Chains A and B, each alone.
Chain A
């Protein structure tokens, strides 16, 4: 408990539930306490869940191409809510159409995300990163 609590969910008007379930399973298997807030989740719900559960990281999924719009301002809202230091990851089909990955990644890092993942990333990669970022193991 405590140091291993993370909040996951699918942000915005996105209803893709399967990837979210897989992430829940994979991170739980890896020893994290996963607070899965499900699909169609707003920024506020991610933040409220993180405050109440004392989570150390928020993992945002988005598959429908509007992730950029949905994720903008999340870091600022975390700061306003007193959890500005929390680790933020985003992953999935984050932008509309087929865009080059590097500029997309840059954009999300500028928005205050600590790590960003393109489509097709395996959960193991993010798990390894998160363990490093949280100094676990």
Chain B
């Protein structure tokens, strides 16, 4: 490789680099080094590049260097709305879709106690929503005033009732608080509008947050830190689904198991599929991301085991489970002694629970005309492809077994999980790198997807 582009992912622990050959599409190399936010982010990046050079034989000329980051806690956000099921839910979707980690959410009028708690959480951005356009004004104005007068120092993105924008802007200007106004996340009850808020969050992330995270130091080396890592994964998924790149599948689910969280991304409309089903609740976005903070294979191992039903762990003796958990937790990054089948069961359990929480569900209602069904959330039964990524899946000998945790279950037939999907694995662990490329290098990204992903056993 002589000429390539470099894609960097500053993770919480590792800095991962991917070099893509510009002249031979489909050829790529990956390497990693530690993430060194505390000293200088460039130190870890240098190590990763040295490892990369060792593989290729030399370091190629990089025409462009693009990066995403979840280092230093990623993008930590707080979402505020009015009714929990309505504008707060819309605000949550906007923040998660921007790749944020939600620390806490608040609804209705904020109390001083809540403001104090919010400040103590040290968020990177606060998203303030509430009221449909022309709807309730009092609550968002009350909350805006408390925030404006508080000691909060982070930027505030305002995406609520448009009829409160002028007043809120004035409040924040008077208190000299950094703020950004954008379109309402829920202009009317039947219309979700999260894209403008997502874009604004991304702008603010670019403008301020990377500096606060010590990533600014890498800016001379790279051409730009573009987005939080989860947003890169979301972009990659959207690209793969809309262009039907893998086996012509256009309705896709991505499951990403990490050490602290399990992320699920779905790309489909998720509308009811039968006549007798009535959709209730908030409209759903085509690209939807949920994050399960209690389901992870390392930092969140204990809550994961607590959440699993005993069936998944029954084949292992309790004592043995405790011993293995102890080993994992005592040395989080060295897992050489952990048995594969145990890791696999845990990973399958994490996929099972995370996909269950992400999927929509039916509620039965008895009417004088017979049984009717109410659908909340997305119907994912017609998902065609489930893609697995994240260390526990990518490094597993039996990824199909782990991904089978995502499937529809007769014993839980009101949860609308995928019924007959195919399975694929992110072999080269490059999903976020693909997300970084899709805007500027769609053809190269497409070729990379074709090379990296293939259909594996276990699915249909």
Q: Is the CB of A15 within 8 A of B83?
A: no
Residues of A close to B188: CB separation below 8 A: 35, 53
Q: How far is the CA of A53 from the CA of B374 in the complex (A)?
A: 23
Which residue of chain B has the shortest Cβ distance to A44 in the bound complex?
A: B85
- The total of interchain contacts (Cβ-Cβ below 8 angstroms) comes to 69
Residues of chain B within 8 A of A37, CB atoms compared:
189
Q: Are B367 and A49 in contact (CB under 8 A)?
A: no
CA distance A132 to B453 in the complex (A): 65
Contact between A53 and B367 (Cβ–Cβ < 8 Å)? no
Neighbour of B132 across the interface among A13, A15, A53, A64, CB < 8 A:
A53
**Min CB gap B277→A, angstroms:** 10
On chain B, the residues within 8 Å of A33 by CB distance are 134
Q: List B residues 323-375 near A (Cβ within 8 Å).
A: 365-369, 372, 374
Question: A58-84 interface mask toward B, CB cutoff 8 Å, 1 = contact, 0 = none?
Answer: 000000111000000000000000000
Query: Which A residues are closer than 8 A to B by beta carbons?
Result: 1-2, 5, 13-15, 33, 35, 37-41, 45, 48-49, 51-55, 64-66
Q: Return B186 CB to nearest CB of chain A, in Å.
A: 7
Query: Is the CB of B82 closer than 8 A to any CB of chain A?
Result: yes
Residues of B93-142 contacting chain A, CB below 8 A: 131-137
Other-chain residue from A1, A40, A54 in contact with B278 (beta carbon distance below 8 A): A40
Question: CB-CB < 8 A to A65: which residues of B?
Answer: 368
Asked if B163 is at the interface (CB within 8 A of a chain A CB), the reply is: yes
C-beta contact mask, B370-410 vs A, less than 8 Å → 1, else 0? Answer: 00101000000000000000000000000000000000000
9 tightest A-B contacts by CB? A1-B134, A53-B135, A13-B367, A54-B135, A54-B136, A48-B83, A52-B86, A53-B132, A52-B83
B278-311 contacts to A, CB under 8 A, are 278, 280
Q: How far is the CB of A43 from chain B (nearest CB, A)?
A: 13
- Chain A min CB distance to B402 (Å): 38
Tell me, in angstroms, the Cα distance from A5 to B161 when the chains sit together: 14
A13, chain B: closest CB distance, angstroms: 4
B87 contacts the other chain (CB 8 A): yes
Is B163 within 8 A of A49, CB to CB?
no
Whether the Cβ atoms of A53 and B189 lie closer than 8 Å is yes
- A60 and B280 CA atoms in complex are apart in Å by 17
Q: A15-B367, A40-B280 are in contact. Are A54 and B189 (CB under 8 A)?
A: no
Q: Please report the C-alpha to C-alpha distance between residue A33 and residue B82 in the assembled complex, in whole angstroms.
A: 20
- Complex CA distance for A13 and B374, rounded to whole angstroms: 10
Chain A minimum-CB-distance residue to B186: A52
Inter-chain contact A51/B83, CB cutoff 8 Å: yes
